[in-house]
Structure 1
Amino acid sequence: MSDLRPARGTDVRAETEVRRSRFVALLRRADDEDEARALVADARAAFPDARHHCSAFRVDVPGSNRVERSSDDGEPAGTAGMPMLEVLRGSGLTNVAAVVVRYFGGTRLGTGGLVRAYSEAVQGALAVTPRVRVEIVGLWTVDVGHADAGRVEAELHARGMTVTDVAYGARTVRLTLAAADGDRLVGVVASLTAGRAIPAPTGTAVVEHRLTPAS
């Protein structure tokens, strides 16, 4: 399984102005509903004098259906939260929350104008959002001799394998490896140890790969 999510870290912020109304878009990684709602609370605290704090989020719940929510927060129904959610859907990102704070500029934008303004505000934040590709990969352990451990670890890294842990014992060194392709991993380890070491599966792990802007 793999999907795209915002990278963890600080909030992404983007601002636009439409007919003197100021729109401040905030976007954050949210791995559950509480984290998504926390962004709304933080936006209200950071911009207490704004008239609207509209929001939308998409969160994957392990073993259950994806949760999607939106709020117009006082704007005409369907003009803010749902358009924001549609933009998030179109981005392909999951586990993402967005809030758009609006300072009214004195000129009414109309239904279509509001839909465009809130949609474009979220699009502006998405354009500068760092992203990661999330994968569930297999975990494996393999025991090698102390004399071979450094060489084997270096060769695994050189061949694109992920070594997540190195534990030194009295007689051997246990390497914990993460791999999406278990058959390839077993083959690589066999070739590096002349068949003396055989990786054993131990479970799964979630791995995040940061993407370049062009990815």
Structure 2
Amino acid sequence: MKKKYWDARHNCSAFIIGSRGELTRCSDDGEPSGTAGRPMLEVLTGSGIRNIAVVVTRYFGGTLLGTGGLVRAYTQAVKEGLDHCETGIMRKGCELEVTTDYNDVGKLQYYFGQQGIVPEDSIYAENVKFILLVPVEKEDSLRKNLTETTCGKVKIEKLKETYFIDKE
């Protein structure tokens, strides 16, 4: 953020990493000690959210605000950010490429809709490819169900294992 907002006076930050919040850090980035990073970290801690980082960028107004005003400003900025962010649970998943012919596209789309699966991408060429992001624990049953749905004509390739945010 310091590179992106190089002309700002301060880029104060705080983060909590780990499912139990085992790693925490904060930085006042030149503001008077304890007026920015620590209040920001306290808001994050109180939210109960983990694996989160915030940066508040300030261009002007520090001297005029005084130390109490700085604490209120940074605290309020983090609260506003949390009020407008989306959260979810980090899950281990895999990215699958599902290839089929045009005859089975409708069957697969219907199945995806029934299961609440939204393809990350759809590629229509000689065949149709759907890129899916699914939880690791559902991969085997998905393979079985897609094979049954298309009478064995579907080709499923695991592209990579990854993590994703489950917004449930």
AA matched with 1:129: H
- SS of residue in 2 equivalent to 1:131: coil
| Offset of residue 81 of structure 1 | 2.0
Q: 2:95 aligns with which of 139, 150, 153?
A: 139
Q: Is 1:88 the counterpart of 2:88 in the alignment?
A: no
- SS of residue in 1 equivalent to 2:83: coil
| Offset of residue 105 of structure 1 | 4.8
Q: How many residues align?
A: 158
Structure 1: gaps (5+ residues): 1-34, 45-52
Cα contact 1:157–1:163 (8 A) shared by 2? no
The one-character-per-residue Cα deviations of 1:102-158 (angstroms, maximum 9, x if unpaired) are 44458x66xxx5686256424532353222435452011222222112331242133
Match of 2:122 in 1: 166
> C-alpha distance in 2, partners of 1:176/1:151?
16
Q: 2:154 aligns with which of 194, 197, 206?
A: 197
> C-alpha distance in 1, partners of 2:7/2:45?
23
- SS of residue in 2 equivalent to 1:204: strand
Q: 1:121 aligns with which of 65, 76, 87?
A: 76
> C-alpha distance in 2, partners of 1:39/1:71?
18
> C-alpha distance in 2, partners of 1:102/1:72?
15
Structure 2: gaps (5+ residues): none
- CA, structure 1 residues 166+72, in 2 after alignment: closer, same or farther (shift >3 Å)? closer
> C-alpha distance in 1, partners of 2:62/2:113?
51
- RMSD (Å), alpha carbons: 3.7
Q: Is 1:175 the counterpart of 2:133 in the alignment?
A: no
State TM-score, norm by structure 2.
Answer: 0.66
| Offset of residue 160 of structure 1 | 1.1
> C-alpha distance in 1, partners of 2:54/2:112?
34
Cα contact 1:140–1:202 (8 A) shared by 2? yes
- CA, structure 1 residues 146+163, in 2 after alignment: closer, same or farther (shift >3 Å)? same
Q: Is 1:186 the counterpart of 2:158 in the alignment?
A: no
> C-alpha distance in 2, partners of 1:90/1:39?
29
Q: Is 1:57 the counterpart of 2:14 in the alignment?
A: yes
| Offset of residue 82 of structure 1 | 1.9
| Offset of residue 195 of structure 1 | 3.8
Match of 2:106 in 1: 150
> C-alpha distance in 1, partners of 2:23/2:124?
42
Percent of aligned positions that are identical: 20
AA matched with 2:86: R
